[in-house]
């Protein structure tokens, strides 16, 4: 942890207005052991990540890190708000790009986006819905992400995980997964129905 903080501070000293350097500080603070946080490490991490997002609203790393911090605290409404703003920012830029015929760059709360960001945002939103046990919404978001980019590994793996949950299989329990795999490998399942 101390090395990460030192590296992050060095990056900040060299580039104080660089969103990547500030994100590095936020990520380092988020990883601080509870014993070294004095009750404010996570809050400082959130402030740093918000500052990085303000400098580069289109950057996904600080957004996803901030969402993960809130999700770990069970504050899913803040997660949904942050991700919705990211998705809507991408849609706004798609519309501007469509009408201007060139890459749109908007200052303020909206960044220059492309469709690649949207599929990642939908996949992350689905991941949060899954953690919040809102499975219908999670399915919808995973399918939206996959329809935008079938190669989105986060969405594909998340959907597979969600399908296991919906089947009543704990996706984190290796033994249960092996047993479920043995049943699935039985071909047409004829031995159970004969």
Q: In angstroms, rounded to a whole number, what is the distance separating the alpha carbons of residues 90 and 100? A: 15
pLDDT at residue 191, as a whole number: 41
- What are the pLDDT tens digits along the chain (194 aa)? 566 666 666 766 666 678 888 888 888 888 876 655 555 778 988 999 999 998 888 889 999 999 999 999 999 999 999 999 988 875 544 444 444 443 344 434 444 454 558 999 999 999 999 999 999 999 999 999 999 999 999 999 999 999 999 999 988 877 655 555 555 544 444 443 33
Contact 132, 114 (CB under 8 A): no
Token duo for residue 32: 């601080």
Q: DSSP 3-state assignment of 96?
A: helix
Give every CB contact of residue 66 below 8 A, 6+ residues apart in sequence: 26, 46, 49, 50, 53, 82
């Amino acid at each position: 942890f101390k090395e990460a903080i030192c590296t992050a501070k060095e990056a900040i000293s060299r580039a104080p207005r660089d969103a990547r350097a500030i994100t590095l500080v936020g990520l380092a603070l988020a990883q601080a052991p509870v014993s070294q946080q004095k009750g404010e490490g996570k809050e400082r991490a959130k402030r740093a990540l918000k500052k990085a997002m303000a400098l580069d609203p289109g950057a996904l790393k600080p957004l996803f890190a901030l969402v993960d911090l809130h999700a770990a605290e069970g504050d899913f409404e803040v997660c949904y708000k942050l991700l919705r703003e990211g998705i809507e920012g991408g849609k706004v830029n798609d519309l501007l790009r469509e009408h201007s015929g060139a890459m749109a760059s908007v200052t303020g709360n909206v960044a220059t986006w492309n469709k690649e960001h949207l599929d990642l945002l939908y996949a992350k939103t689905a991941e949060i819905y899954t953690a919040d046990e809102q499975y219908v919404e999670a399915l919808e978001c995973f399918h939206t992400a996959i329809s935008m980019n079938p190669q989105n590994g986060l969405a594909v793996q998340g959907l597979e995980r969600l399908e296991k949950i919906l089947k009543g299989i704990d996706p984190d329990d290796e033994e249960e997964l092996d047993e479920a795999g043995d049943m699935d490998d039985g071909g047409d399942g004829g031995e159970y129905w004969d």
